[in-house]
């Protein structure tokens, strides 16, 4: 019996709500941004990347978002439309708001960071009026990105989308997705992230993002992962995934099982993009009716392939490509069932 079932009569697999932006990744590697001369432009924004990833895996994807009314907004809409990602629910900024821009700094294969330009950003202009109840009802899964909760009216749009999802049996996945820009305070983060976590069927976040949800210091290690996961499961979550970067991730399920997933060994190019690839392939596995371990391993393989690549969105893989990677790495035993209270 699958932990999470889906209404196969719903015509769309996944709808995501949140930001779609642009990534500018340096062509000259292993140096600080002030030493970079040229960049490659890619579609970006964690929800945008996940939409591309889930679509690349063959799923029917829609996006609720707002893009700038300029050539960058055109780029994003064209990119989605060319791949069959539904843009009927996307709007254009009305008052000159700009696309979010993310400049990735790749200082070394193991040291990268992102510099985000998010002043007057279009993606936070999604409004409740842009959220169509039937569109949500027609989707098996709604994925909410945490950053979309950072400001109104995007915040209210997300909360309304979740209300519609709960009303129509659409499963809610909360991708915590913390970006410091746009938030007024840590207390606001705790309020809205914990509210979303209490309404989600699946919660995916890094440990520092979970700490922010709990109102803890980002570096906190107490309470242990399983204690926090238990709380979310008591609130109704069926699966809680806590990511730990290159150390991998740990997943807890409502049927009281815990799984440790170690990272695959790859030649790292940048430390970003793994989470979006992980989430995309994990969601694919859920929709395919796979077991949680199978879906976790698929997500982990996809993540490894994307952190070894220059892009995030363009580097998203097909099912066949992920399967081939897993075959190449079949000697790496990455997944272990744990005692519930074991740590990563």
Minimum CB separation of residue 249 from ligand ADP in Å reads: 4
Does 137 participate in binding ligand ADP (rule CB under 6 A)?
no
Does 273 participate in binding ligand LHLMWEOZ (rule CB under 6 A)?
yes
Does 246 participate in binding ligand ADP (rule CB under 6 A)?
yes
Strand, helix or coil at 68? coil
Does 205 participate in binding ligand LHLMWEOZ (rule CB under 6 A)?
no
What's the number of CA atoms in the CB half-sphere (13 Å) around residue 107? Answer: 8
Smallest Cα–Cα separation from 231: which of 244, 217, 214? 214
Hey, how many other C-beta atoms are within 10 angstroms of the C-beta on 322?
A: 25
Minimum CB separation of residue 324 from ligand ADP in Å reads: 17
Minimum CB separation of residue 110 from ligand LHLMWEOZ in Å reads: 14
- What is the per-residue binding string for ligand LHLMWEOZ in 19-58, x denoting contact by CB under 6 A? x-x-x--------------------xxx--x---------
Find the binder of ligand ADP among 42, 278, 284, 325 (CB under 6 A): 278
Smallest Cα–Cα separation from 127: which of 172, 158, 95, 170? 158
Measured between alpha carbons, how far is 281 from 333 in angstroms, rounded to an integer?
18
Does 266 participate in binding ligand ADP (rule CB under 6 A)?
yes
Hey, how many other C-beta atoms are within 10 angstroms of the C-beta on 232?
A: 23
Find the binder of ligand LHLMWEOZ among 63, 79, 178, 272 (CB under 6 A): 272
Between 151 and 226, name the residue whose CB sits nearer to ligand LHLMWEOZ.
Answer: 151
Between 160 and 303, name the residue whose CB sits nearer to ligand ADP.
Answer: 303
Q: Which residues of 238-257 are buried (b: 16+ CB within 10 A; e: fewer)?
A: bbbbbbbeeebbbbbbbeeb
Does 112 participate in binding ligand LHLMWEOZ (rule CB under 6 A)?
no
Hey, how many other C-beta atoms are within 10 angstroms of the C-beta on 318?
A: 11
Find the binder of ligand ADP among 48, 65, 248, 285 (CB under 6 A): 248
Contacted entry of ligand LHLMWEOZ, ligand ADP, none for residue 248, CB cut-off 5 to 8 Å set by kind: ligand ADP
Does 250 participate in binding ligand ADP (rule CB under 6 A)?
no
Does 317 participate in binding ligand ADP (rule CB under 6 A)?
no
Minimum CB separation of residue 22 from ligand LHLMWEOZ in Å reads: 8
> Which residue is closest to ligand ADP by CB?
275
Burial class (CB in 10 A: 0-12, 13-18, 19+), 331: exposed
Measured between alpha carbons, how far is 85 from 249 in angstroms, rounded to an integer?
29
**DSSP label of 311:** -
Smallest Cα–Cα separation from 280: which of 250, 305, 310, 252? 305
Find the binder of ligand ADP among 26, 48, 62, 275 (CB under 6 A): 275
Sheet holding 249-253, edge to edge: 61-64, 12-17, 139-145, 171-175, 202-206, 239-243, 249-253, 258-261, 335-338
* Size of residue set near ligand ADP by CB under 6 A: 20
Does 174 participate in binding ligand LHLMWEOZ (rule CB under 6 A)?
no
Minimum CB separation of residue 10 from ligand LHLMWEOZ in Å reads: 27
Beta-carbon contacts of residue 63 (< 8 Å; ≥ 6 apart) = 15, 16, 17, 20, 47, 48, 51, 80, 85, 86, 87, 89, 90
Provide the binding-site residues for ligand ADP, judged by CB under 6 A: 206, 243-246, 248-249, 263-264, 266, 268, 271-272, 274-275, 278, 300, 303-304, 307
Provide the binding-site residues for ligand LHLMWEOZ, judged by CB under 6 A: 19, 21, 23, 44-46, 49, 102, 114, 272-276, 312
């Amino acid at each position: 019996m699958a932990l999470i079932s889906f209404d196969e009569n719903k015509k769309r697999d996944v709808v995501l709500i949140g930001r779609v932006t642009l990534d500018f990744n340096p062509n000259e590697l292993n140096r600080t941004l002030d030493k970079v001369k040229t960049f490659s432009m890619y579609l970006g924004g964690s929800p945008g990347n996940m939409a591309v990833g889930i679509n690349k895996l063959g799923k029917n994807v829609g996006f609720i978002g707002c893009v700038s009314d300029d050539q960058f907004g055109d780029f994003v809409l064209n990119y989605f439309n060319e791949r069959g990602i539904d843009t009927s629910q996307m709007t254009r900024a009305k008052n000159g708001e700009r696309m979010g821009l993310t400049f990735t700094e790749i200082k070394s294969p193991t040291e990268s960071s992102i510099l985000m330009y998010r002043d007057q950003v279009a993606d936070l202009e999604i409004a409740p009026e842009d959220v169509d109840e039937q569109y949500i009802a027609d989707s098996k899964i709604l994925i909410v990105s945490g950053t979309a909760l950072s400001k109104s009216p995007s915040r209210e749009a997300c909360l309304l989308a979740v209300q519609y999802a709960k009303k129509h049996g659409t499963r809610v996945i909360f991708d915590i997705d913390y970006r410091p820009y746009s938030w007024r305070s840590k207390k606001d983060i705790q309020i809205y992230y914990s509210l979303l976590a209490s309404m989600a069927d699946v919660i995916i976040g890094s440990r520092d993002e979970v700490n922010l949800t709990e109102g803890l210091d980002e570096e906190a290690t107490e309470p242990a992962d399983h204690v926090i996961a238990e709380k979310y499961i008591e609130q109704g979550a069926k699966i809680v995934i806590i990511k730990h970067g290159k150390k991998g991730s740990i997943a807890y399920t409502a049927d009281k099982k815990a799984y440790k997933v170690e990272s695959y060994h790859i030649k790292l190019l940048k430390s970003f993009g793994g989470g979006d690839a992980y989430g995309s392939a994990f969601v694919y596995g859920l929709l395919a009716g796979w077991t949680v371990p199978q879906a976790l391993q698929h997500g982990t393989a996809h993540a490894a392939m994307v952190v070894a690549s220059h892009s995030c969105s363009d580097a998203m893989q097909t099912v066949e490509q992920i399967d081939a990677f897993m075959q190449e790495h079949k000697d790496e035993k990455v997944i272990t069932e744990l005692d519930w209270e074991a740590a990563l």
